[in-house]
Every structure is written in C-alpha cells, then in structure tokens.
Amino acid sequence: MELLTYLPQVFSGVNILILVLGTIIGLLLGSMPGVSPTMAVALLIPFTFHMDSTAGLILLGVIYASTVAGGAVSAILINIPGAPANIATILDGHPMARNGRATEALHYCFISSGIGGILGVLVLIFFTPPLAELALRFGPSELFWVAILGVTVIGSLGSTSVLKGLIAGAFGIWISLIGFNPILGTERFVFSGHLQGGISIVPALIGLFAIPQVLYMVESAWRGQTGEQFQMEGRSIWQSVRYNLRRVRSLSLGSVVGAVVGLIPGAGGQIAGLLAYDQDKKFSGHPEKYGKGEPDGVIASESANNAMVGSSLVPMFSLGIPGSPTAAVLLGGLLIQGLFPGPDLFTQHASVVWTFLGALLCAQILLMVFGLYISSLSRFVIGIPKEYMAGAVAVLAIFGTYSVQHSFSDVLVMLVLGTGMYFFMRYGFSPGPVVLGIILGPIAEENLLQGLIIAPALDGPMPYFFTGTINLILIGLCVMSIGYSIYSELKIRSRRRAGERAGGAPEA
Amino acid sequence: MTIWKQRIIAIASILVAAGLVVWSSPEARPGYEFPRMVAWTMLVLSAVLALMAFKPGKVVIPADIESVPMRIIWPMLVILAGMAYLAPRLGFLSTSFLVFVATALVFSPDRLGVRRIALVVAIAACFTVSLYLLFVLLLGVQLPRALLF
C-alpha cells in the first residue's frame, strides 16, 4: 500500500519538525478565542511558499487538525468556542469546568479528538483514490459543473441564508475574473493599477478571513468580553484514558457522524459536533444529564469535529470541492503549490499526497499526546488580551500577504477585501462562499470556454453541457444542494414563526 | 427594524449586481461571456432576495443581521488605512510596531498609565523583532525599507 511506502518520509528531515511544531502551534492557536482554524490556515499559507510542497501541505493540514482540537480549550475553560466546530463542546464541557472538572473535560476532549481524527483520516485514505479515479472521466463540461457545484454547495449549506450564500459565491466568482480572459488573454475590469494581473488567492484568503476577525477582536476587547476562567484540578491522564475508551457508544457515534458529515461538501464541523451531540443524547439512557456536565457530550462532539477534518478533505482531493471553509483555504494552498485535485495528484504527485496523508494520521496521535500534556498550559494562552491578538493578527496578515509576491498592491487588495467582508458579514454574508468563488471561478470559466470551443465539433453547446450521465448527476447535485438548503431555511423560518406566535413578539 | 435592514441589503445587492451586469456587457468585445453570466445570476438571486424582503404580510427572516459598531471599530479602520499609507513611506517594520502599539492602547479596556504604555511598547518591540527574525532572516523576505526601518 502506498501509505506504508511513503510513511518513512513523514519522519524524515524537516517534515517531522513541521509535524511536531505545527501540532503544538495549532493547539495553542486553536485555544485562543477568535483564532479560527480557517484564519490560522490562511495566515500560514505565505510561510508554505518557502517550503517544498510536501512540507507546506503538512503544515497546513496539521494546523487545520490541531486548531480544531485546540478550540475546545477556550470552549471548556471560558465558555467561548475557539472555532465554530467546538460549539457543541460548550454544552457539557463548560458545565464540567464549572463543576471543578476542567482538566478531566480537556482530557476527554483531546483523547476523543485523536480517536475521531484517526477515523476521519482513514476515511480520507480509503475514499479519495477511488473518487479521484472517477474524476478521470471528467472533461471540460464536467469540470465546469464540478466548479459550480462547489460554489453552490458552500453557498447554500455554509450560510444562514441560502440566497445570501449564493449571492456571495457569485460575487466571489465575478471578482476572480478581474484581470485577463484565460483563452483570449484580453484584459478586463482592471480599473486600478493595483488590480493588474487580477486578484491573487493569498491576499483574498488572508483578507477575507483575518481582517474581519481583527475587527471582531477589537470589538470584544473594547467591550471587555474575556469570559470567566476556571481553575484546573489535578487528574491522572491514564484514569481519563481508561474512562474515555470505555465510552464506546459516544466515541463511535461521534466519530462516524463526524466522518459522514465531513464527506458532505459544505457541511462543516459545527454541524458534525451538534449532530453527534444530539444523536448521543437521544441514544443515552440518561439524556437529562446532558447540558449539566456529562462527559459523553464532550466525547461525542469532540470526536465528531475532528473526524470531520480528515473526511472533509475527501471531496477536495478527489474532485476539487472542499468539504468545509477551512478545506477551501487548504485548496487554495494546494493550487498555489501547483498541485491540482484529481487523479493526477495520486499519480504524478504520489509522494507529496501519501506523505501528507501519513503526516495527518500521525498528527492525530501527536495532538492527542501534546493536547493531554499541554492542556494545562493553554490557560495562559487564553489569557492573552484580545487587543494584543488583534494587533498581532493585523500585522501578520500584512506581512504574510506582502511576503508572497513582494507586492504592495496585494496588501491593498487584502485590506480592501477584508474590510468590505467585515461589513458584509454584519449583514449576513459569509466569507466561505466568496473565497470558494475566487478559487473556483477561473476553473469554471476556463472549462466553460474550452467546452464552448469543443462543443460545435460534437453536438453543440446545449447537449454538450446538459447531457451525459456525469453532467446530469452534477447538475442534479447542484439542484439538490440548493433545494435542500431552501427546505431547511423554510423549516427554520416556520419554527421561528411558531416560536414568535407562542411568545407573541412582533418581528418588524 | 431588521426587516428594513433586510430590504436595504436586497436593494443594495440588486444595485451592485446591476452594476456588474452593465460592466460585464461592453459593446462588441469578446471575452466577457462568463462574467456576464455570473453577473446576471447574481442579479436574479438579488431580485429573489428583494422579493422575499418586500413580500407583503408578516415576513419571518433569518436573524443574520447585526448592527455595525462604527463607534468602536472606526479607530481600527483608521489604523489599517494608516498602515497601508505609512508602510511604504516609513518602512514595514516601524509601521508594524506603531500598528501594534496603537491597537493595544486604543482598545485596551483598562485605564492607561505609564506602566501600561511601557508594557505595550515592550511587547510591540519584541513582536517586531520576532517578525524581523522570522520574515527577513529566516524566510528571506525583502521588505521595502523607507524613512525608518
């Protein structure tokens, strides 16, 4: 098996150093409230420019996995989730801390994260190559629909409002088209010298995820929102390991739910954690204990959100459709290194991909070990004032953006996009669809134009793009993702309406 | 109030999309087909958003709108704009130092005293030195040097 062939490379030279340091840094970054995995991965992309593609990819993947796990620290200790994926962890993790069981909750969190994460990476290892083989049959029309599917899925599933998600996705595609037409080479929409050559992925990624976060951080610093922190009790790690391994139902339910949710593009860790928590509560013999400090709640949600990490990379590596916003940023990192998702990745760049998968598997074990031993240190990281964090992130965003192409225009683009996104976020738009639009827009256009060139020699553009099994399946999936999101949105609205009727509060 | 904000967003969205449609439709120039398709899609989606926001009767909309705390964030916007303006003129490292100090002092929830200012300046200096070591010495990034460093 290829994984075993390339596994020794994980432990060679700089890779092992990046694996270890990346895990520790990721755990610490994740434990800081306000530093989301997406922002952490986006901020670190510029560093990967100075590494070979294997090391760069390992750094991004390891940071993704460990920041999701580290996010539980602030969720448990100060009732603020480090990442949206840790929202479900708050429900029982924080009550455990209030009951004087903070260390115990952190132990369960890291053990479950590691176990769930291993299952997620195994799903990634076994599902990606066959799916990538399928992508061999894709021509320009299929690739066009894959790109559109990516945007519709993230746009519809990853946002509060389907329409706003789709509008944001379309806007992202449109701004990605600034610069040159890929076939004719003509310049378009360049109204400023700073936009010559178009909008690069890195400034867009950093700006859209880091700058709004800076503004949110200064807001909470101004309001003095620090949360209530709890003391850590002394507890044996082995006692926690023994108890955790005995909770087979919560562990397996969380891991399986997380792995399955991760496979659905756009669903994300937040849904994985909440769904696993809900299911575990339903299957429990004592559901009344949930929400009051039940360890099973922490185990189910944490195993789910880390199982989601590995499996969310399956559609990204095989088809180029990211399973979560962080996977979308990782896709940007992949493209920047000159690696394109699909079967070629496993044939032409087998060494890079299999070493990365091996490293991600090892990272799950490392984050479990480091998490258990450094969880007590995390409380110091949580204590870093938000105003310092905001200043540091703003400066890092500017340095990171500049270091990629040594272009000050990139810095300006990053600042403008980021500041604009903050205002859009306040009005219900998410950065995820915009970023995916920016990444997938050029792919969609190139394949559309190539298809339009090929089509007259075949049956014409309409049959070329709208017939054929794969085309029809992809179009069906686009319609299904939008249809399902509209259905969910209407359901939520009807629930709110019912709630308002019961409460008697007027809406507008 | 929320419903009016949703309506304003819908109208703004229509205006932006209409602008993009116009911009993507230059006369007799090839290479604009896909941008035009995307802009039209955005316009249609924005029109549906407006239709839902202006629908007569009791409308229940997602609670996804928050007011912008301009009173709080405007100094940060000034700091970011200042960074963009000063970095090529003063130098990246010196501007970074100033940005860190300004952010930490302006948004500090505690009262400012000499001790606090000295602490912030010391932390900002350490942070700037770390940036220099990381980006310039380790990664070999050539930062534009200007008036200061």
User: Of A321-325, A465-469, B24-28, B138-142, which has the strongest mean pLDDT?
Assistant: A465-469
A266 — pLDDT class (breaks 50, 70, 90) = low
pLDDT on residue A184: 81
pLDDT on residue A490: 75
Q: Where are the alpha helices (DSSP H) in A224-267?
A: 237-246, 248-263
Percentage of residues of chain A with pLDDT beyond 70: 92
**Which of A143, A183, A218 should one mutate to test binding to chain B, selecting the residue with the greatest count of B CBs within 10 A?**
A218
Task: For residue B123, count other CB atoms closer than 10 A to its CB.
Answer: 17
pLDDT on residue A58: 93
* B28 touching chain A per CB within 8 A: no
Better-scored residue on pLDDT, B36 or A271: B36
* B38 touching chain A per CB within 8 A: yes
Least CB-CB distance to B32: which of A188, A426, A492? A188
CB-CB under 8 Å, A218 with B72? yes
Domain ranges, ordered by start, for chain B: 2-54, 70-138
| Minimum Cα–Cα distance from B35: chain A residue | A174
CB-CB under 8 Å, A219 with B108? no
CB-CB under 8 Å, A508 with B39? no
* Three-state secondary structure string covering A436-504: HHHHHHHHHHHHHHHHHHHHHHCCCHHHHHHCCHHHHHHHHHHHHHHHHHHHHHHHHHHHHHHHHHHHC
Task: For residue A238, count other CB atoms closer than 10 A to its CB.
Answer: 10
pLDDT on residue A195: 82
Cβ contact A295:A96 at 8 Å: yes
Averaged pLDDT for residues B113-137: 88
pLDDT at B84 over 50: yes
Domain ranges, ordered by start, for chain A: 2-226+233-494
Tokens for A251, please give them: 């562990």
Task: For residue A79, count other CB atoms closer than 10 A to its CB.
Answer: 18
Better-scored residue on pLDDT, A265 or A66: A66
CB-CB under 8 Å, B41 with A170? yes
Q: Return the closest-CA partner of residue A339 out of A46, A54, A37.
A: A54
Q: Where are the alpha helices (DSSP H) in A177-247?
A: 201-223, 237-246
Q: Return the closest-CA partner of residue A48 out of A59, A39, A34, A40.
A: A59
The per-residue pLDDT for range A113-161, each reduced to its tens digit, is 999 999 999 998 888 888 777 777 788 898 899 888 888 876 665 566 8
Q: Return the closest-CA partner of residue A294 out of A326, A350, A247.
A: A247
Mean pLDDT of chain A: 84
For helices A295-311 and A87-98, angle between their N-to-C axes, nearest 10 degrees:
150
Least CB-CB distance to A415: which of B17, B68, B84? B84
pLDDT at A495 over 90: no
CB-CB under 8 Å, B9 with A218? no
CB-CB under 8 Å, A445 with B64? no
Query: How many CB contacts within 8 angstroms connect chain A with chain B?
Result: 186
The per-residue pLDDT for range A302-314, each reduced to its tens digit, is 999 899 888 888 8
The per-residue pLDDT for range A58-88, each reduced to its tens digit, is 999 999 999 888 888 878 887 777 777 788 8
Residue B103, min C-alpha distance to chain A (Å): 5
Exposure on the CB side of residue A28, measured as CA atoms within 13 A: 13
Q: Which helix (H) or strand (E) holds A135?
A: none
Tokens for A348, please give them: 């032409």
pLDDT at A300 over 90: yes
| Minimum Cα–Cα distance from A178: chain B residue | B35
For chain B, the first-to-last Cα distance in angstroms comes to: 50
| Minimum Cα–Cα distance from B48: chain A residue | A163
How far lies B144's CA from each of A178, A256, A409, B134, in Å? 27, 51, 13, 16
Angle at A273 between CA A269 and CA A278, to 5 degrees: 145
CB-CB under 8 Å, B87 with A398? yes
Cβ contact B7:A173 at 8 Å: no
Cβ contact A258:A306 at 8 Å: yes
CB-CB under 8 Å, A406 with B60? no
Per DSSP bridges, beta strands A179-180 and A187-188 are antiparallel
Least CB-CB distance to A391: which of B9, B29, B104? B104
pLDDT at A505 over 50: no
Percentage of residues of chain A with pLDDT beyond 90: 21
Region of A138 (left: φ > 0; alpha: ψ -120 to 50; beta: rest) is beta
**Which of A180, A222, A448 should one mutate to test binding to chain B, selecting the residue with the greatest count of B CBs within 10 A?**
A222
Angle at A148 between CA A147 and CA A151, to 5 degrees: 90
B57 — pLDDT class (breaks 50, 70, 90) = low
Task: For residue A224, count other CB atoms closer than 10 A to its CB.
Answer: 10
The complex's ipTM works out to 0.91
Residue B115, min C-alpha distance to chain A (Å): 16
pLDDT at A447 over 60: yes
Dihedral sign of CA atoms B49, B20, B31, A409 in order? negative
pLDDT on residue A507: 40
What CA–CA distance (Å, rounded) separates A329 from A38? Answer: 7
Dihedral sign of CA atoms B35, B38, B39, B40 in order? positive
| Minimum Cα–Cα distance from A391: chain B residue | B100
pLDDT on residue B92: 85
Q: Which residues are registered as beta bridge partners of A180?
A: A187
**Which of B54, B92, B103, B129 should one mutate to test binding to chain A, selecting the residue with the greatest count of A CBs within 10 A?**
B103
A506 — pLDDT class (breaks 50, 70, 90) = very low
Give chain B positions within 8 Å (CB) of A164: 49, 64
Tokens for A139, please give them: 């021509």
What CA–CA distance (Å, rounded) separates A93 from A301? Answer: 10
Give chain A positions within 8 Å (CB) of B83: 394, 398, 415
What CA–CA distance (Å, rounded) separates A330 from A441? Answer: 16
Averaged pLDDT for residues B41-49: 92
CB-CB under 8 Å, B60 with A507? yes
